[in-house]
């Protein structure tokens, strides 16, 4: 089994590196998302759904820019309009998933009337945070973790699907030109 994992890691090295870059971009986008969400919802009192919408929109623009030029550098020379439109479609679906999960987890599980409220309240108090702030951020963490996989695979298989083909062609040309004459 270790041999199979080693072979898989070697064969898919480029995709593993790409996924790690995606995680870095996602971490930055998530930090931005949480900062804007908390500013709007927990500081300024904006309702959860519009606050989440604005925070995710900010993260989408950030993530697309970094994805296009760092995670998928092969796309730099291409026109970005179509890819951006595809990225936005994936992101709108991600927003709907994220918002639905956020609301559901906060309302039914972590919030003041949720199933786990008796566990959340002491944790929030121990951290010196209001229950609502703690539960909305906990729900956002859960939603973000789930939606991360949708974002990566939907963008990899649809928005940036041609990248693998380009890399394979480039790798094939490189292998062909490095062969010794027979």
**pLDDT tens digit sequence for 28-74:** 999 999 999 999 999 999 999 999 899 989 998 999 999 988 998 88
Q: What is the pLDDT of residue 14?
A: 84
Q: What is the pLDDT of residue 4?
A: 61
Answer yes or no: are the C-beta atoms of 151 and 94 closer than 8 Å: yes
Q: In the chain, how many domains are there?
A: 1
Q: Who contacts 36 (Cβ-Cβ below 8 Å, separation ≥6)?
A: 51, 54, 55, 58, 59
Residue 62 maps to a domain: yes
Residue 172 maps to a domain: no
Q: What percent of the chain has pLDDT over 90?
A: 55
Q: How many whole angstroms separate alpha carbon 103 and alpha carbon 111?
A: 10
Residue 174 maps to a domain: no
Residue 134 maps to a domain: yes
Q: What is the pLDDT of residue 128?
A: 94
Q: Find the domain containing 25 and state its range.
A: 7-162
Residue 167 maps to a domain: no
pTM: 0.72
For residue 171, pLDDT over 70 is answered with: no
Residues 68-103 have pLDDT tens digits of 889 988 887 777 788 889 999 999 999 999 999 999
């Amino acid at each position: 089994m270790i041999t199979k994992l080693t072979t898989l890691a070697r064969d898919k090295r480029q995709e593993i590196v790409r996924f790690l870059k995606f995680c870095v971009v996602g971490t930055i986008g998530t930090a931005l998302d949480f900062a804007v969400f908390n500013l709007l919802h927990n500081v300024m009192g904006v309702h959860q759904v519009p606050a989440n919408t604005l925070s995710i929109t900010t993260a989408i623009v950030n993530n697309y820019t970094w994805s296009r030029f760092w995670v998928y550098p092969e796309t730099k020379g291409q026109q970005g309009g179509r890819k951006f439109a595809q990225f936005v479609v994936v992101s709108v679906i991600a927003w709907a998933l994220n918002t639905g999960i956020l609301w559901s987890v906060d309302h039914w599980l972590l919030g003041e009337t949720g199933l786990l409220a008796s566990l959340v309240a002491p944790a929030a108090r121990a951290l010196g945070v209001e229950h609502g702030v703690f539960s909305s951020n906990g729900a956002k963490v859960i939603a973000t973790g789930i939606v991360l996989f949708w974002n990566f695979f939907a963008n990899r298989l649809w928005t940036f699907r041609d990248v693998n083909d380009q890399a394979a062609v480039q790798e094939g040309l490189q292998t062909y030109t490095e062969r010794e004459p027979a």
